[in-house]
Copies of this chain bind each other. A is one copy, B any other.
Amino acid sequence: MLRLTKRSEYGLMALAFMAQSGQSYTSVREIVAKLRIPRRLLAEVLKDLSRAEIVEAVRGPGGGYRLTSPADQLSLARIVEILEGSVAVAKCADGSSCDLSPSCTIQEGINLVAQRVKSVLDDFTLAQLADRGPQGSQSVHEVAV
């Protein structure tokens, strides 16, 4: 339906939160306290992001997650790709095979569209996303030091 999943949205919210917060480690509990999203689901999402090394996790009291790289070097495409597999507008647009492919007359065109949509996500960074949030006055990637 050309729509981002909740997983992506939750992930982006959490990452934006981390980018803004400035603190070193942020726990799921903290994030859930601010944003009103299902705790367990957010945990799943962050775990995936941790596996993909988008964030670094530390357990135990005072632990939580932390971005592994500056927010302005993290594209939405990357995040969405991790959280929902790929950003392909059509099945054939990310290498997957489609049984209609042989007789499909619009494949080439659709792929061009897919490519353009992809670049939109590629060009949008987490920093840009966070900069537009509530606390998004100061440059996020400057603060995160």
Contact = CB atoms under 8 A, between A and B. Distances in A.
Interface of A: 1-5, 9, 12-13, 16-17, 20, 34-37, 76, 80, 84-85, 87-91, 100, 103-106, 108-110, 112-113, 116-117, 120-121, 124, 128-134
Nearest to A133: B105
A31 to B, nearest CB: 10
Given A109-B132, A133-B106, A80 B2 contact: yes
Contact of A36 (B36, B76, B89, B103): B103
A27 to B, nearest CB: 17
Copies of this chain assembled into the complex: 2
Contact of A84 (B2, B20, B91): B2
Nearest to A10: B100
B105 A134 contact: yes
A120 B2 CA distance: 12
B2 A3 contact: yes
A124 to B, nearest CB: 5
Contacts of A100: 9, 35-37
Contacts of A109: 16, 124, 128-133
Contact of A3 (B1, B34, B103, B121): B1
